[in-house]
Structure formats: C-alpha cells, structure tokens
Amino acid sequence: MEEFSISITEKTQEYVNNQDQLKTRHVVRLDFWKKLLLEMNSKSGLFPNISPSKYGWIGAGAGVRGVAFNFAGSKDYARCELYIDRGDHEENKFVYDELLSKQETIEEGFGGALSW
C-alpha cells in the first residue's frame, strides 16, 4: 500500500508542476501577443479587434472567405502565415495557385522572399 501512496503523491506533484509550467507559458504568451498586437495595430488595420490569448496562435480574417492571417509561436519558433481553409481541397488549391501566380508582386510588397 505504501508504494501506491508514493506513486500517487509523485503523480500529484508532477501534475502540479506541469500546471505551473502551463500557467507560466500562458502568461508569457499573453504578454507576447499583447506586445505583438500593439506593434501590428500601429502598422496595419487587420488586428484591431483581436485579443491576446494564452494559446500558441492568434489570427484575423483576410477579408476573403476561408483565408486568415495568423501568427504562431512556440518555445522554438515564431512565424506569420496566410492560412487557407475553405473546407474543400480544390478551392484551397485554387486560392493558393492564384496567390502563387502573383508571388513576385506579393514578395515585392512584403519586402523579401516568402516560404511558399
């Protein structure tokens, strides 16, 4: 019986430690998104109604059905992305191909090469 109690105690402590790590991660993310949104909102009108969150990504609609601008981050990376999800593979491919056909213009407006 003693072994079982130790095992439960260890599991409980492990759970508490994991929860503390999650809470810390959420606080860090929330602070990061607040700062990012302040900066973005000084440069663009895309994110004024977006609230920071504890999650690993935030996004805003691009003004086209099924297309969004997202920011994603983790412990090891951060990225911005154009997320295409119209619920249909062929429609998604059509949107992507249309954008790809304007790659040069898009990258010129962005100010550098993008990962396609």
Cβ atoms of residues 66 and 85 within 8 Å: yes
* Residue 89 C-beta-side C-alpha neighbours within 13 Å: 0
Please give the average per-residue pLDDT across 22-49, as a whole number: 89
44 pLDDT exceeds 90? no
pLDDT in the model for residue 105: 97
Cβ atoms of residues 66 and 87 within 8 Å: yes
The residue among 55 and 4 whose pLDDT is bigger is 55
Could you tell me which residues come within 8 angstroms of residue 58 by beta carbon, excluding any fewer than 6 positions away? 33, 36, 37, 47, 50, 52, 70, 71
Cβ atoms of residues 2 and 37 within 8 Å: no
At residue 73, the 3 state secondary structure works out as strand
Average pLDDT value for the chain: 87
